[in-house]
Structure 1
Amino acid sequence: MTAAPDSPLRVLIAADTYPPDVNGASVFCFRLARALHARGHEVHVLAARNDAGPDTVQVTEEAIVHRLQSVRAFTHETYRMVFPWHASRSIGALLDELRPDVVHAQCHYMIGEAAINEAEKRRIRTIATNHFMPENLEPFLPFPQWFLDIVSRNSWRDMGRLMGKAAAVTTPTALAARTMAEHAGLDHVLPISNGIDSSAYELAPGETVERPDHPVVLFVGRLAVEKHVDVLIRAIGLLDPALCVHLEVVGDGEQRAPLRSLVDELGLGDRVHFLGHVTDAELHTAYLRADVFCQPGTAELQSLVSLEAMSASKPVVLADALALPHLVTDGDNGYLFAPGDPQDLAAKLTAVLCADPGERARMGRASHDRAVQHAQGRTIDLFEMLYRGATPEEVRALL
């Protein structure tokens, strides 16, 4: 059934990851819930508990959050799993109680799978969004590569089977949509940006940010294998010592100990700074304090942190992998570098840091101009259309 054009909707966001988890999908779900709530919709979020205990309900500023009983994944320090039978039973009961206008599933694993299947049984409109590459699982599965390849193929197949049941399927970029068509057989995926509030990272009127007396390269994200922060650290070690470049690393994760060991091994302890998790205000300042932002990851379907840095008018140096190339044009707002190549990364960082201040400012403005094309308001408009019954073809005409 199509909802009335102006009536508030009851939306259930089904997510395997949600704050306090720190990752791109979690941030997207939180921002989506907050924006929908601000528009007057009744928002419910379905996610795993972050600790032991039975199903519970939390009322937050942005939504009513339903947490399902979960167990810790033994190969990951923070990720938690919900058993399939419990997810199906709990989600089915919740759907019967809430009768939402739409279910927005954020993946095809565990909670996402159960939400799609249970919504289908009840003929509830479902939208599916993919933030994940099945290969992202590989560092956390203790199996040989031949077996991991089988897991990946099966995961792509399951993605096609499950998300194919939805009224519309989305992903953040056109490249990700093409990848899903190739591997999951989903031929009509809508590339809808995760969206960003660029004003949150711009220099506010009258605001001043104290800048250090040395150049700063910034990385923001999880300290995970696929982020390849080690490549960035090695690149810092290859830069001309006369530049006195410092690296600030914002975020945390399972690779913190190996990365700290690498810093010690390279003798970079006085120039590489691990800041851990920071507040939104501290992150805002970190972006504005930096001279250049670097994302060396090779599994990015969009990279919200790169967009945040671009919103702060920073040149970016990004790995030439997956969706990152659509954010940068060499010499315009930064550079791409060969993934996994610290020498090429060092050369591209040097090109930015040795450019005259006027040129760096021009590159920063070019970054900002690209970032504003991903305005969050437009993203929410498109999802509202899908929630209310618009066809993928109607939405595609606006992209």
Structure 2
Amino acid sequence: MRILLGADTFAPDVNGAARFTERLATGLAGRGHEVHVAAPSPDGAAGTHAFGDVTVHRVRSHRYPLHESFRVCLPWQAGPATAAILDEVRPAVAHVQAHFVVGRGLAVAASASGTPLVATNHFMPENLFAHGRVPAFLQAAASRWAWRDLRGVFGRAGAVTAPTPRAVELLTGSTGLPATAISCGIDAARYAGGVETPGTVLFVGRLDQEKRVDELLRAMAAVPGARLEVVGDGTEREAWHRLAGELGIADRVVWHGFVSEEDLVAAYRRCAVFCMPGIAELQSLVTLEAMAAGKPVVAADAMALPHLVRPGRNGLLFPPGDVEALAASLRTLLADGGTRRRMGAASREIVAGHSLDATLDAFEAVYARVARRVETAPVAA
């Protein structure tokens, strides 16, 4: 099958949606499909290049002034560009990963041409409020508008998916669109192995407001002797560096920034506990990766994280914003190696239900169903 994925973020970007699209594309190509990706250019210029066995079509992009690592495409440029890519590739199915600019352009073009269309949602309004600098008093109205906008794009699709049942519940409740839960999936074997460094807590993710790393730093101040490793970068980097100094824990926090895949796997393997304090996780691919490495997880009891973290089995949940409860959970696990080993084994068992092969199977079935539905649709007289 010839498949065209539309993404508003893709490698070399480092975030959950980009990593999922990369794994989906390479996984499908590995199964013999002809896979193309339309995505923003990382340097501004349009062009086409090979990404392993995947062909990537880059759409002209521009630096986003409010975020140093974001590239954005202008709608009046991306619309014609994605339509041209669709016309060139002529896929059996198009699959958009967002409703923003590239995804929107591809969805509109696919709808107009009768190309079977699938849409996957990785979006929550909270993910963008800080980047768009939306004042608190406008956020409720902005959220309603954002969901209406998403419905206008994803409503064109023959099938809509989201990574977890909670993500489906949010999407359907906010837009009325029916959707199916398909996990982002993970190749768990690559994370196995390594030796734990006792007393080490790991966070991986964007250093942006909704990730609540400030709460983790405050909790670490109440866990004497523990060491925190932070992998990732974002808009709150400098503020949180300053906070670590103000809390007197700067010597116990290592800020790695963006790292290679090999270094990321090594960080998962050596940590004693993985922590995800974020409140806007539709699945949390990094939590899945830590679980694949056999780690217990301390996570906020928010959004989809309870789908992954089973209290007492493979980790602990804490009420979002409750720094004291977060610190207590970290102290409990860091002090008990036997519990960490038991919970780490349970993490691996849970991850087995999120295999990348199962995800690829599910999307292949969706593609075949949507393509078949278009082929058998009656032709108007």
What band does the TM-score fall into relative to the shorter chain?
over 0.9
Q: Retained in 2: the 8 A contact 1:168–1:392? A: no
Letter in 1 for 2:211: K
- For 2:161, what is the secondary structure of its paired residue? strand
In the other structure, the counterpart of 1:193 is: 183
Contact 2:201 2:274 in 1 (8 A): yes
Q: 1:107 aligns with which of 98, 120, 131?
A: 98
> For 2:130, what is the secondary structure of its paired residue?
helix
AA paired with 2:345?
R
2:31 aligned partner: 39
Q: Specify the alignment match of 1:179 in structure 2.
A: 170
Distance change >3 Å, CA 143–CA 285, structure 1 → 2: closer
Query: Which among 353, 358, 381 is matched to residue 361 of structure 2?
Result: 381
Change (3 A) 1:176 1:391: farther
Structure 2: runs of 5 or more not aligned: 374-381
Amino acid at match of 2:289: E
3-state SS of 2:183 partner: coil
Q: Which residue matches 1:122?
A: 113
Q: Give the paired residue count.
A: 373
- Normalization by structure 1: what TM-score? 0.90
Distance 1:273 1:135 in 2: 27
2:167–2:282 contact (8 Å) kept in structure 1: yes
| Equivalent residue letter for 1:314 | K
2:233 aligned with 1:249, yes or no?
no
Per the TM alignment, residue 286 of structure 1 is displaced from its structure 2 partner at its CA by 1.2
Match of 2:220 among 213, 216, 236: 236
Of all paired residues, the percent bearing the same amino acid is 46
Task: Give the residue type in structure 2 aligned to 1:84.
Answer: P
State which drifts further: 224-233 or 137-146. 137-146
Is the CA contact 2:159–2:370 (under 8 Å) kept in the aligned structure 1?
no
Whole-angstrom CA distance in 1 between matches of 2:287 and 2:112? 39
Per-residue CA deviations over 1:222-242 (Å, capped at 9, x if unaligned) read: 111111111111100011x2x
Report SS of the residue matched to 2:360. helix
How has the CA–CA distance of structure 1 residues 367 and 391 changed in structure 2, closer, same or farther, with 3 Å as cutoff? farther
**Superposed CA offset, 1:332-387 (max 9, x none):** 111001112211100111111122x2222111111110011100000001101111
1:150-201 Cα shifts (integer Å, max 9, x gaps): 2221110121222121110000000010111111111x21000000000010
Corresponding position of 1:52: 44
- Post-superposition offset of 1:142: 3.1
What residue number does 2:16 align with? 24
Deviates more, 1:322-331 or 1:192-201: 322-331
Report if aligned partners of 1:386, 1:392 keep a CA contact under 8 Å in 2: no
Which residue of structure 1 lines up, in the alignment, with residue 4 of structure 2? 12
**What is the 5 A alignment of 1:164-313?**
164-186=155-177, 188-203=178-193, 209=195, 211-212=196-197, 214-239=198-223, 241=224, 244-313=225-294
Where do 1:137-176 residues align within 5 Å? 137-176=128-167
Match of 1:397 in 2: none
User: Which segment is superposed worse, 59-68 or 308-317?
Assistant: 59-68
CA distance in 1, matches of 2:231, 2:72: 26
User: Contact 1:168–1:391 (CA<8 Å) still a contact in 2?
Assistant: no
Local SS of the residue matching 1:32: helix
Aligned letter for 2:16? Answer: G
The reply on whether 1:78 has 2:69 as its aligned counterpart is: yes
**Contact map agreement 2:158 2:370 (CA 8 A) in 1:** no
Deviation at 1:391, TM superposition (A): 9.1
- Equivalents in 2 of 1:93, 1:76: separation in Å? 29
Please give the TM-score of this superposition, normalised by the length of structure 2. Answer: 0.95
8 Å contact from structure 1 (residues 190, 392) kept in 2: no
Offset at residue 283 of structure 1 (A): 1.5
Distance 1:258 1:319 in 2: 21
Q: Which of 58, 61, 73 is matched with 1:67 structurally? A: 58
Residue 377 of structure 2: aligned partner = none
Work out the CA distance in 2 between the residues paired with 1:189 and 1:52. 34
- 1:364 aligns with 344
CA contact (8 A) 1:195 1:379 kept: yes
Can you give the 5+ residue segments of structure 1 that lack an aligned partner in the other structure?
1-8, 394-399
**Equivalents in 1 of 2:100, 2:59: separation in Å?**
14
Does the 8 A contact of 2:116 with 2:370 survive in 1? no
CA distance in 1, matches of 2:239, 2:39: 30
